[in-house]
Amino acid sequence: MEEKKKIATREAYGKTLAELAATDKNLVVLDADLSKSTKTADFAAVAPERFFNVGIAEQNMIGVAAGLAACGKTPFVSSFAIFAVGRAFEQIRNSVAHPQLNVKIAATHAGITVGEDGGTHQSIEDISLMRTLPNMTVVVPADAIETEQAVKALAAYQGPAYLRLGRLATPQINDENYQFKLGETVLLRPGRDIAIFACGMMVAVALEAAELLAQESISATVINVHTIKPLDIDAVVESAGLCGAAISVEEHSIYGGLGSAIAEALAENCSVPFARVGIDDKFGQSGSPDALLRAYGLTPTVIATRAKAVIARKNAK
């Protein structure tokens, strides 16, 4: 298989913010002393008067952003996901989501592919936390191209939003003709035997799993669910119903994230055999990203095996 170009979604985030600085004068960016890692330093370089490093004070950063939004600005706030979401959850809930202020929380270094930083820094609960909040939009882009378009879409969107970004360079799955639409899934590969719903960096892995299944004459639909909330329920139900079986794949806990969102939609609208592939009620640990993905079963081989098990349940009916 041809090796695809790899770019971290956080890299695309920083470049897009810098690009928007010239055209959106209401855009302001806040960071909690991690701008080189989150790549908001790119924005600071071109619009220093609209960049605010609040220091290691994530709760305060959210409060400042809420105030700026109340004054008509469009703040993007960034830190590592474990801090931006975990440490500042109360402020996000009460100062941003409850009053529906136009704050965009763009958290980087999400998931276990933070790697050697270990379980304390690997946020695997952030999608769950954010999707439970009323008024909150949740977006998990699959590659750099989708990240660029998602940042632009969220900058134009009025309301609270959470954008989940990664540390690791990931394969580019979209081309320059790709068009991101907030709240709509993307059909990447049509199939008939099982629907694979994936988000973030796991979309590329799901496509590899579909290739493995094809070698066994199993036809898999692969769908990129970049918007976890609001979920494209109609597309989820249609794809699962056509295939008669489905699995979800995410670099996140299987509780409360993409898998839970898909399960809820199917339970209420389309009863088909279903399984969740993700992190099963465990914390992360220190290790290289590749070693951790293998340790937690987030590989094409494991996904293909789980898919075959779900298809067997369908065929046993």
Active site residue 58: yes
Taking CA atoms, 8 is separated from 81, 82, 170, 180, 276, in Å, by 15, 18, 6, 18, 25
Determine whether 156 is exposed, middle or buried from the number of CB atoms within 10 Å of its CB (0-12, 13-18, 19+).
exposed
Q: Which of 251, 200, 265 is nearest to 227 (CA)?
A: 200
Q: Which of 256, 193, 252, 250 is nearest to 224 (CA)?
A: 250
Nearest 5 degrees, angle CA 243-CA 246-CA 248?
145
Give SS3 for 76.
strand
Catalytic residue among 11, 58, 125, 146: 58
CB 251 within 8 A of CB 200: yes
CA–CA dist 248, 99 (Å, integer): 32
> Residue ranges of the alpha helices (H) in 102-254?
126-131, 144-156, 202-214, 233-243
Residue type, 50: R
Instruction: Kindly give the interhelix angle for 300-315 and 202-214, rounded to the nearest 10 degrees.
Output: 60
CB atoms within 10 A of CB 81: 30
Query: Which tokens go with 104?
Result: 């965009």
Residue type, 312: A
CB atoms within 10 A of CB 111: 32
Q: List residues with catalytic annotation.
A: 58
